[in-house]
Structure 1
Amino acid sequence: MIPTQEVWDDTQLLWDYQLMGHDPRPCSVAISLGSHDLGVADTTVDLYRRGMMPLIVFTGATSRTTRERMPRGEAVHYRERALELGVPASAVLVEPHARNTGENIRFSRSLLEESGVEVSSVLLVSKPYEERRAYATARKLWPTVEFVSTSAPMTLSEYADSIGDARLVIDMLVGSLQRLLIYPEQGFMISQEVPEDVIAAYERLCAQGFTSRLVPGTARAE
């Protein structure tokens, strides 16, 4: 689909809000969140080459958007990509069971503790439109650690072109924003202020049918 200018403007508001604006800096470890986007692995490798962390945890099982594309699991495919790009196997841990952001954090934390890795700071690597969601979830579930949330430095248009499916990107952005609105009350993440213009853009996109990634039974920010 080719979004109208109005839809694209609303999507841009959601995109800009999701970006945390953190500058990547050296951390104890990187946790790279699995998804349909193999570019997250590429971004993680780039950060590793820049000396931002000595160890990477790739985390993720499969989902409805990745079963066909990554049949061995998101974390496994991410690891394979990293090794192809020259990261040594000794610098990579794989957490292959997580099926949501909360599990990404909890299971990665457990894996690091079991591996005897001391962690004071974590570089969270995700898709651009999930920087804030990843950060809010991690802060809730692992409050003793400092988190830096980052992603590939891309514009909304560049990202949509890289995925090749503008509607999917818009649906994902709407779904991520909804979770920031409803999950704090459910104990899944910390609460963050959402500007009124961002909420209004989200409501308009919901009304126009960009709802395939919403939490079932909850179409709006209630």
Structure 2
Amino acid sequence: MISTQTWADARQLWDFHQMHHEPRPCSVAIGLGSHDLGVADTAADFYRRGLVPLIVFTGATSRTTAERMPRGEAVHYRERALALGVPAAAVLVEPQARNTGENIRFSRAVLEEADVEVSSVLLISKPYEERRAYATARKIWPEVDIVSASSPMTFEAYLDSIGDARLVIDMLVGALQRLMIYPKRGFMIPQSVPNDVAAAYERLRQEGFTSRIVADGTPAGC
């Protein structure tokens, strides 16, 4: 049973992780690979609305996606976008990245190889990864404007879509820990964490929502 306090703490982290950027026209959309096909749906929607002329989907597989997306996250995302009406010529695939930093670096390389001039990126992630994706991209690719975006969903709707509340809360906690420790490792720019958000994070850790925590000193990528 998840307590009322735990729900309130999780919702507070959810709200903080979202950047609340207004989607606007950009040079390209980059969809970060994950278990969530909503990233591909959102990228396709932005393309249909004329916000971007090109989409890059990036991602290999992870322990979360190996069974669900055996051909790789980026490949499954592309298939989803094409099924939603995006033309094949408007989609590039980067199938090697295994963390957020590689998503950005490898996508940048794919765009450079394709001779695509980029001044702004509509960066699409899971809703609770918006701030982490933004902070990582600003560190790795500081010369472009970054607009962080995700599927427009409430916390409750996202929980229903995933069907595993504990996993989602674990992800919220893990994403916030990375925001706090990864700037010191050079993986992302610093993000100020309000005291009430930090307190909610600590309570969730004490409640055992720690499966996505990075061990101190572990040389993990972003």
User: What TM-score do you get using the length of structure 1 for normalisation?
Assistant: 0.96
Asked whether 1:43 is paired with 2:46, we answer no
CA distance in 2, matches of 1:80, 1:216: 35
User: 1:183 aligns to what SS in structure 2?
Assistant: helix
| 1:3 and 1:166 in contact (8 A); partners too | no
Q: Displacement of 1:5 after TM fit?
A: 1.1
Q: In structure 2, what is the equivalent of residue 104 of structure 1?
A: 103
Which amino acid is the alignment partner of residue 33 of structure 2? Answer: G
Alpha-carbon offset, residue 37 of structure 1: 0.5
| Runs of 4+ more than 3 Å apart | none
Distance 1:30 1:3 in 2: 37
Write out aligned runs for 1:70-219 (5 A): 70-217=69-216
Kindly state the Cα deviation for residue 216 of structure 1 after the two structures are TM-superposed: 2.6
Corresponding residue number in structure 1 for 2:53: 54
Gaps in structure 2 of 5+ consecutive residues: none
Number of residue pairs matched? 218
Structure 1 distance, partners of 2:148, 2:216, is 30
Report the alpha carbon displacement of residue 4 of structure 1 after superposing the two structures with TM. Answer: 1.7
**What do the CA deviations read for 1:149-204 (whole angstroms, capped 9, x no partner)?**
00011111100000111111000000000000000000000001100000010010
TM-score normalised to structure 2 length: 0.96
Q: Percent identity?
A: 75
Q: What amino acid maps onto 1:168 in structure 2?
A: L
Question: Any gaps of 5 or more consecutive residues in structure 1?
Answer: none
Distance in 2, Cα, partners of 1:121 & 1:217: 34
SS at match of 2:168: helix
Report if the CA contact (8 A) 1:31-1:56 is conserved: yes
CA RMSD of superposed structures (Å): 1.1
1:125-152 deviation per Cα after TM superposition (whole angstroms, max 9, x unaligned): 0000000000000000000000000001
Query: Counterpart of 1:158 in structure 2: which amino acid?
Result: A
